[in-house]
């Protein structure tokens, strides 16, 4: 997949601002609006979780070998689990709107949490039909505003976003358990390997640096 969502490090789809960058600001604003993407439509949860597990195992491998001889090892492993757990956002109520493309209202919805999660597809998902940008700590959704049903559309959008996030939150809880198991297993394997290496070194009449 060319636009993998990553929790740590730079996302290949953009640094600051929108997850899916719009065309240059000098371009036609209507064309820019059409460049916005649907949420929950980039990568499956299973794929993201597998990537996070791989990253967490790699983090265990990068720990200094002395960490595996200290009583603080359990805490270090828990930090790795926390760093790689999927932090599902919590959204608030809309805080404002402004005229967007003809016939559309750009509605701002604040959130707290990891913005990259808005691209993850829950196992059971309802994909909102309206275009949306993720801008820093807020969503900017383009809602059709050509009749008396704008508020209903906004409410539906917020409800569907919340339902998808709740579904992801349940999966993320189970996913954290899997990350934890993988980290503990990787930590124990490395600890045993270090013990084995140290025991072999004791039989030598010269020092060994590993």
**Residue 132: what pLDDT?**
87
Quote the crossing angle between the two packed helices 150-202 and 73-84, to the nearest 10°. Answer: 150
More confident residue, 16 or 205: 205
Distance from C-alpha of 80 to C-alpha of 180, rounded to nearest angstrom:
9
Distance from C-alpha of 208 to C-alpha of 157, rounded to nearest angstrom:
62
144 domain residue, yes or no: yes
164 domain residue, yes or no: yes
Lowest mean pLDDT among 33-42, 76-85, 96-105, 148-157: 33-42
For residue range 121-137, list pLDDT tens digits in order: 888 877 776 778 888 89
What are all long-range contacts of 203-207, with beta carbons under 8 Å and residues at least 24 apart? Answer: none
Say how many C-beta atoms besides its own lie within 10 A of residue 195's C-beta: 12
23 domain residue, yes or no: no
88 domain residue, yes or no: yes
For residue range 141-157, list pLDDT tens digits in order: 989 888 889 999 999 99
14 domain residue, yes or no: no
**Residue 20: what pLDDT?**
36
**Residue 19: what pLDDT?**
38
209 SS3 class: coil
Q: Compute CA distances 136 → 11, 15, 110, whole Å.
A: 13, 10, 9
93 domain residue, yes or no: yes
Residues 105, 118, 6, 123, Cα dihedral to 10°: -150
154 domain residue, yes or no: yes
**Residue 205: what pLDDT?**
67
> For residues 51 and 6, is the Cβ–Cβ distance under 8 A?
yes
Q: How many domains does the chain have?
A: 1
21 domain residue, yes or no: no
Domain range for residue 136? Answer: 29-197
Global pTM value: 0.73
- Torsion angles phi and psi, residue 110, rounded to 5: -75, 155
């Amino acid at each position: 997949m060319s636009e993998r969502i990553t929790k740590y490090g730079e996302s290949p789809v953009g640094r600051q601002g929108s997850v899916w960058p719009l065309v240059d600001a000098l371009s036609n604003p209507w064309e820019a609006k059409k460049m916005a993407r649907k949420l929950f439509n980039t990568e499956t949860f299973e794929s993201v979780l597998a990537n996070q597990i791989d990253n967490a195992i790699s983090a265990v491998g990068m720990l200094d070998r002395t960490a595996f001889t200290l009583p603080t090892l359990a805490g270090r492993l828990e930090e790795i689990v926390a760093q790689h757990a999927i932090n599902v956002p919590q959204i608030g109520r809309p805080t404002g709107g402004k005229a967007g493309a003809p016939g559309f209202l750009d509605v701002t919805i604040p959130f707290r949490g990891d913005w990259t999660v808005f691209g993850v597809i829950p196992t059971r998902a309802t994909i909102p039909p309206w275009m949306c940008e993720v801008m820093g700590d807020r969503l900017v959704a383009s809602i059709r505003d050509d009749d008396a049903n704008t508020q209903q559309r906004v409410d539906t959008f917020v409800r569907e976003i919340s339902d998808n996030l709740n579904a992801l939150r349940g999966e993320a809880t189970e996913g954290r358990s899997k990350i934890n198991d993988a980290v503990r297993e990787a930590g124990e394997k490395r600890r045993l390997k270090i013990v084995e290496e140290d025991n072999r070194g004791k039989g030598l009449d010269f020092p060994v640096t590993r």
